Amino acid sequence: MKKFIETLQNIWKIEDLRNRLLITLLFILIYRFGSFVVLPGIDPNSLDALKAQTEGGLLGLLNMFTGGAFANASIFALGIMPYISASIVVQLLTIAVPAFQKKQREGESGRKWMNQFTRYLTVLVLLLQGPSYLVNLSVQLSQTGGAPGGAWFQISSTLILCAGSMFVMWLGERITDRGIGNGISLIIMIGIIARFPESLIQEVISRDGDAGGGWIMFLLEIIALIVVIGLSVLLVQGTRKIPVQYAKRLVGNKQYGGVRQYIPLKVNAAGVMPIIFAQAIMFVPLTVIGFSKVESVGTFWQGLVNSDRFAYNAIFFILIVAFTYFYTAITVNPKQMAEDMKRNNGFVPGVKPGKKTSDYIDEIMSRITLPGSIFLATVAILPAIARLFNVTHGFAQFFGGTSLLILVGVVLDTLQQIESHLLMRHYDGLLKSGRIKGRSGNIAAY
């Protein structure tokens, strides 16, 4: 406790860090306040049907990402997810379209152009999702007789929803520039954390009414949750290096006096980006059939939009494995690594420099990526496994999946930035055992 108090005092002494933390807190409070501001013309007391609809399935997950704004019919109801979807599309275009590849190589000017294009694409996504959300809202409100109508309501509310999401995106950018941590990531994390107390209370109530050892099951759930969080930390941080006997990633270099150096290959080089990609794909059927038609579609579509179904989790698992290989392929360049080794007089023992080395590194990456992708996909479907033990849907989302991995990754990244400020001013870090490691993958953009 004494160490913790001293650390807080050191943080407060650093003016720049103190100001950044206060600005971050202010913007987060603005975001949380906006998530309770209901759309004009909507009676907050008539939203029971909408809240019941978002208790499970993909709509429940979407409601978690928005911090409850979706179920509140808030001006921030669509949240930051449209921006993330647009960002993913732009990343894919950067790989497939030569014009985008050229822009990416133009440095700062190209980056600004890409960011502006992402914003325009976000507006387009919002203009498609906004009317779909309002149709679903009208259907749910019609059960209580309080459904607003008219073209003006549709047009004005769509514009308000678009403006709300763009404002959330702006808040995220301001946190990144003037606060601490990555703004978009923090906004998602705050939305997830905001749902935890309610989910925990619902689980306690559920187990309290269970006569068949409910409290024992709850205790086992807490232990399992702690274990899953520990595994998620290992997964997010990645593996520092592969043992030499499994991957001869040694570099003999006179510059280092003949000392053998490891090439930085990781089991999970893609971080948690594959699960973000896969989750965005799994939201597509929900958008296509419309939020209001989820319960009326056939068995096939039900399997794609219900996160408890086997079909959904099987497809989700396969997509994560595929996207892990895909994202690793675009982030790890064996050819460039082989050229850098050759330029610095480095080599892999028993492998010729140049193309042979490139092929060897590529083969090693393909082999070590498989267990990493399976581990990532397994953690992603843990909420569905928790549901088999009658864990409430909201609480089950914290047993793995996108929500937990994002939560763990953002916390580690934010703590790492705070620690960097402390060490820069010659203060002790946050941990005595060593430096805090952030995320190994490039999810910082989210």
CA distance 376 to 400: 10
**Structural domain boundaries of the chain?**
2-424
**C-alpha atoms less than 13 angstroms from C-alpha of 428 in its C-beta half-sphere:** 12
- Average pLDDT (318-333) is 82
- Average pLDDT (200-225) is 80
Please tell me the predicted confidence (pLDDT) of residue 434. Answer: 53
Question: Which tokens is 376 given?
Answer: 């990532």
Q: Could you give the percent of the chain with pLDDT greater than 90? A: 11
Name the range with the highest mean pLDDT among 14-18, 28-32, 285-289: 28-32
> What does the pLDDT look like over 82-113, one tens digit per residue?
888 888 788 778 877 888 888 877 878 888 88
Residue 394: Cβ within 10 Å count: 23
Model pTM?
A: 0.76
Q: 344 to each of 249, 252, 353, 361, 364, how far by Cα in Å?
A: 15, 10, 11, 17, 21
Please tell me the predicted confidence (pLDDT) of residue 170. Answer: 92
- Look at residues 56, 95, 53, 91 and name the one whose alpha carbon lies nearest to residue 73: 53
Q: For the chain, how many residues are written?
A: 446
Name the range with the highest mean pLDDT among 5-14, 236-245, 256-265: 5-14
Please tell me the predicted confidence (pLDDT) of residue 323. Answer: 85
**Tokens 């600005």 belong to residue:** 23
CA distance 204 to 410: 27
pLDDT tops 50 at residue 247: no
CA distance 39 to 203: 30
Question: Which tokens is 140 given?
Answer: 């749910």
- Average pLDDT (14-32) is 90
Please tell me the predicted confidence (pLDDT) of residue 330. Answer: 73
Q: E strands within 193-304?
A: 250-251, 261-262
Residues 267, 247 contacting (CB under 8 angstroms) = no
> What is the DSSP track for 22-83?
HHHHHHHHHHHHHTT-BPTT--GGG-HHHHHHTTSHHHHHHHHHTTTTTTTTBTTTTTTHHH
Residues 367, 199 contacting (CB under 8 angstroms) = no
> What does the pLDDT look like over 288-325, one tens digit per residue?
666 655 566 666 666 677 777 888 888 889 988 888 88
Phi, psi for 250 (deg, rounded to 5) = -110, 140
**2-424 topology per CATH:** Preprotein translocase SecY subunit (1.10.3370)
Please tell me the predicted confidence (pLDDT) of residue 159. Answer: 93
Please tell me the predicted confidence (pLDDT) of residue 380. Answer: 83
Question: Which tokens is 265 given?
Answer: 């290959």
